[in-house]
Structure 1
Amino acid sequence: MHCQTCGADSSTVGACPRCGVSPDRPALSPGMPTFAVHGIGLAAAVGVGLTALLYTLVALAPALYVLLTPPGGGPDREQTPLVTEGLLSLLYTVVFLVTAVLVMVWMFRARKNTDAFPGGRKVLAPHWAITGWWVPVASLAVPCVVMVGIVRDSLDRVWLRVLVAVWWVAWLAFGVADLVTSLTEVGDRVRRAEQGLAPDLDHYRDAALRNSLPALACLVAAAALVAVVLRISAAQQARIDGAAWRVALLSSSGPAQLVTGPPPRVADPTVASPQVPPGPGGTIGA
């Protein structure tokens, strides 16, 4: 038996040994809306993984070009890497934008669901799951704070909090490293253009080395985020579905009983129940 609040093993009698919540407390607050997160969470996880893969290909395209180009190359050796990197960059941008929308929608839904979880400590309003990414300066911390709150109120585990920290540190490191490498790349190309030099193998080799750091940070951030999204999605969806199937049956002879199977079929209230013909002697059978 698992606690319906934090998911811990609560086979002991009384309050949950992890979160201290009584088993009598419902998994969801009555009347609070909830949102499905399994499908959007899976889509966001796939998008994050694909985005990281495409960025890695863009970052390592110069290295692949150096490895695959024979000495002397061909007449189009200077145009091939530019075209390939341009196409990959365009595809990466499209996938990144779609994935960003999916992640924001998932965070908003997951944060709204925590409002329906009794006992949660809400720090920021649900809209910060989206607006927190766009507000200058605040975007450096607000999404992480929102994610920590989602983890704490959904499935409080130390390793999940560590993954959130790893995700955010790697994400910030990726942003800084990507900006530095992009500026360095532009400066190097401008310098070569002023000197009348075309990009050579040394240029692409240096670019590949510079791009390795943001690529590594991108992969770490993506792996941590995918793990958090999938685990929280599964925990929230199980809690919501479990609460939906639990039906309290009240009887005059005892307390409510918990039903773990499908809810009983309820007859159509618009259909009149069949009437039993009265017995002899009136309706009381006298």
Structure 2
Amino acid sequence: MNCAVCGGHVPADREYCAVCGGRAMPADWLDNTGVVGNPGAENPGNAPELDVRRALRPTRGLGIATVVLLLSFAVIRALNTLVQLRLFVVYGDALERSRSYWDMEFLPSELFELVFGVLAVPVFVAAVVMFLIWLFRVRGNAEMLDPEVHRRKKPWLILGWIVPVVSFWFPKQILTDIWRASRPGHVRGDVESSFEYKGGLLWAWWLVFLAMMSVDRAHRVVTYTHTGVERNQFELPGEEALALYHDLALTGLLVSSVQVAAGVLAALVVRRITNWQHQARQDRHGQSDPVGAVAPH
């Protein structure tokens, strides 16, 4: 195994070079990805450098698939927002007339609420899986572009989302490092300040994502407020049940709106990083390929 950055020898049981932190790769693979000659372990200081742009893996297909799934989820939740708004108005009008929920006719909006709720689950799962696949791909490319800016090891690309406490900032750090390494004009090994790297889009997505994780639990809080410990929603009297579903509609309106914003912002982040890495990969030919990007810059 040889280092993809300095070309030096890396033991088989190590993933990164102890000298420069570069990623270890088979020597014959490096010969096909930009290393001229056959660098040896005896003289790593004189080893030829790797043209990292030639070693970048394609991101266009994964980027397009991820963006499509994220936007599909956002569209479904946007439609659900309209449904929740309609239910909030209808339930509110019924409350003013002191009606019982159990005496009301079945509403078409309630059917749409069920359909969109069921449909959102597989789309969301597919979007999460595709996003993680894309994340591993762009992280590998970002390590090629600059191995020195990454603060978290690769296992945290998954663990960072599920381990308590650190999940509040590890994923943002990982995306920030990928963003910095991929951004055109980035100086290799230079860790810019938050202002200099212009990551406002990343911050907007991350804050909205945290908000989405928080408000998503609001349904349980609202339900518990109305039912308490000993009852469930189906045991409530008619007017109390109507008040519960009226509050749940308002909560659903809030939750769906935040989910729409999170999905759209995530798609923009994926598009931006994908385009940057696609452009870097195309630059090895001395020209860009705007048609191949997910969207224009």
Given the two structures, how large is their TM-score scaled by the length of structure 1?
0.64
Q: Distance in 2 between matches of 1:181 and 1:167?
A: 23
Structure 1 residue matching 2:75: 3-state secondary structure: helix
Q: In the alignment, what sits opposite 1:101?
A: 129
Q: In the alignment, what sits opposite 1:213?
A: 254
Q: Does residue 170 of structure 1 match 2:208?
A: yes
Q: In the alignment, what sits opposite 2:140?
A: 112
Do the aligned partners of residues 192 and 96 (structure 1) sit closer, same or farther apart at CA in structure 2, a change above 3 Å counting?
closer
Q: In the alignment, what sits opposite 1:29?
A: 52
Do the aligned partners of residues 74 and 181 (structure 1) sit closer, same or farther apart at CA in structure 2, a change above 3 Å counting?
closer
Q: In the alignment, what sits opposite 1:228?
A: 269
Q: Deviations over 1:117-154 (max 9, x none)?
A: 14741211234223322333332222111100011111
Given that 1:132 and 1:138 are in contact with CA atoms closer than 8 Å, whether structure 2 keeps it comes out as: yes
The total of aligned residue pairs comes to 222
Q: 1:47 aligns with which of 69, 74, 86?
A: 69
Deviation at 1:49, TM superposition (A): 1.5
Q: Distance in 1 between matches of 2:145 and 2:256?
A: 38
Given the two structures, how large is their TM-score scaled by the length of structure 2?
0.62
Identity level (%): 22
Do the aligned partners of residues 66 and 148 (structure 1) sit closer, same or farther apart at CA in structure 2, a change above 3 Å counting?
closer
Structure 2 residue matching 1:136: 3-state secondary structure: coil
Q: What amino acid is aligned across from residue 238 of structure 1 in structure 2?
A: Q
Q: What amino acid is aligned across from residue 224 of structure 1 in structure 2?
A: L
Given that 1:105 and 1:130 are in contact with CA atoms closer than 8 Å, whether structure 2 keeps it comes out as: no
Given that 2:102 and 2:238 are in contact with CA atoms closer than 8 Å, whether structure 1 keeps it comes out as: no
Larger radius of gyration: 1
Given that 2:209 and 2:262 are in contact with CA atoms closer than 8 Å, whether structure 1 keeps it comes out as: yes
Unpaired segments of 5 or more residues in structure 1?
A: 1-25, 247-259, 262-286
Given that 1:192 and 1:199 are in contact with CA atoms closer than 8 Å, whether structure 2 keeps it comes out as: no
Structure 1 residue matching 2:127: 3-state secondary structure: helix
Q: Distance in 2 between matches of 1:50 and 1:195?
A: 36
Q: In the alignment, what sits opposite 1:185?
A: 223
1:194-213 map, 5 Å = 194-197=235-238, 202-213=243-254
Deviation at 1:198, TM superposition (A): 6.9
Q: In the alignment, what sits opposite 2:199?
A: 161
Q: Deviations over 1:52-91 (max 9, x none)?
A: 2223333542322455799899987346554432221111
